[in-house]
Every structure is written in structure tokens, then in C-alpha cells.
Chain A
Amino acid sequence: NAGVTQTPKFRVLKTGQSMTLLCAQDMNHEYMYWYRQDPGMGLRLIHYSVGEGTTAKGEVPDGYNVSRLKKQNFLLGLESAAPSQTSVYFCASSRDPRSVYEQYFGPGTRLTVT
């Protein structure tokens, strides 16, 4: 099993450009999450999905959109990138967290917006 993979690993954008981050998991997990991590801060939840075709907002959703068209994939979109979105983005997945399952994280995508 590859676990959770993220594409791309690194990206530099100019202000106003758009891009999509792809997360894929091969563990048949129902739940998927997008977090961002900034220096000196913990992870903050952007959006999450409880199943194929569903998405919900997390703690810091502004400026991002997501889609979960297939169970194994969770896409994070930035329509008009801003320097404040420079961060490391982590995707995670889990079985139903109501059953106390752990979250599995991907390796991260380092995004710089200039």
C-alpha cells in the first residue's frame, strides 16, 4: 500500500494564479482531510470530507475549494493564490473517526506564493 500520497511535492505560484493539489489514498478510507501548517503553529483544518461526493468546511476554509468525486481522491483548489497561502499542506485520511481510528497523513506539499 502506498498509503496517502500528495501531488505535487513543491510548487511556487505567483499571486493570483490558481492550482490544484491532489491527495490520493489506497486504504479505502471514508474520511479525508486537508490541513495547512505554518511555521511555529500546529496543523489547522481547511476542509474535510466524510465520503464520496461530500465536503465540509474546517477551521480555515477561506480562499480554498475542495472536491471528492472519487472515494480515493480529495482535491484542494486555490482559485487566486495569495502570499498568505504560503504554507505546507498535508492531506490525511481515516476510517470513521467516531470509532477512534487514527489519521494517516501524506508527505505534504510545500507551496510558496510570491
Chain B
Amino acid sequence: DAKTTQPTSMDCAEGRAANLPCNHSTISGNEYVYWYRQIHSQGPQYIIHGLKNNETNEMASLIITEDRKSSTLILPHATLRDTAVYYCIVRSANQAGTALIFGKGTTLSVSS
């Protein structure tokens, strides 16, 4: 799996958009970008994933650069409940039974 680099921490005001960057410069053509988050003391939660096109769901948007070397997770209107550790994971589709590799992630703190 390609290595990912994320900032250690970020702050965001409640109601504002939170933009979380991820660098994955060694990503290969068949690797997807996944985002998960882990709210304190809970199990990780899937947010979104994409290959090369931008994606949007009810939780967030994922913007992947044209060269696919980086991506940004956007929470359009952050709330206090979005305070969590966010993990960017790059993974091939052809990995039956393998673990998701969670790195250190970005700790997002949303404040009022």
C-alpha cells in the first residue's frame, strides 16, 4: 500500500468547512483512497472513498487531484460531533482479507 502523510492536528470553527489534506505521492493506478474517522473511544467509521473522480456523500466530499498524489476530505459544515481522528488510507482493491493500515491520522478539533 502507498504511504500517506497527514497533518497531526487541525482546528475548525463550528459551522465552517473542515478541509483535511492527505498526501499519497506513491499511489499506484489500482489503489483507492479511503477516509475513516475515529471518535474518542469508539470504533472507526467509514466516511468515503474514491479512485480518481471527486466523490460526495451525505457525510463529506472527497477531492482527488488529477495526478492522484494528494486528496482533501471536506466536511462542509463541521459540528462539535465531528471532533475525531481522521485517517486517510490508500488500498488496492485486490487485497482479500488484509487489514486497513491506520496511521497516526489527523486530530480534528471543532470548537464553538
Contact = CB atoms under 8 A, between A and B. Distances in A.
A48 B99 contact: yes
B77 interface: no
Contacts of A107: 42-43
A43 B93 contact: no
A104 B45 CA distance: 7
Given A97-B95, A98-B93, A43 B100 contact: yes
Prevailing SS type, chain B contact patch: loop
A63 B97 CA distance: 20
B43 A105 contact: yes
Contacts of A56: 97
Nearest to A56: B97
Contacts of B95: 97-98
Given A100-B49, A102-B49, A48 B43 contact: no
Of the listed residues A4, A59, A103, the one surrounded by the most CB atoms of chain B closer than 10 A to its CB is A103
A105 B99 contact: no
Contact of B42 (A31, A104, A108): A108
Interface string B69-104: 000000000000000000100000111111111111
B34 A108 contact: no
Given A98-B93, A102-B49, A108 B43 contact: yes
Interface in A76-112: 90, 92, 96-100, 102-108
A18 to B, nearest CB: 24
B94 A35 contact: no
A99 to B, nearest CB: 7
B102 A102 contact: no
A42 B101 contact: yes
A98 B96 contact: yes
Contacts of B103: 42
Nearest to A90: B43
Interface of A: 4, 31, 33, 35, 42-45, 48, 50, 56, 58-59, 90, 92, 96-100, 102-108
Given A45-B99, A103-B46, 9 more contacts: A31-B97, A33-B99, A48-B98, A50-B97, A97-B97, A100-B93, A102-B34, A105-B43, A105-B45
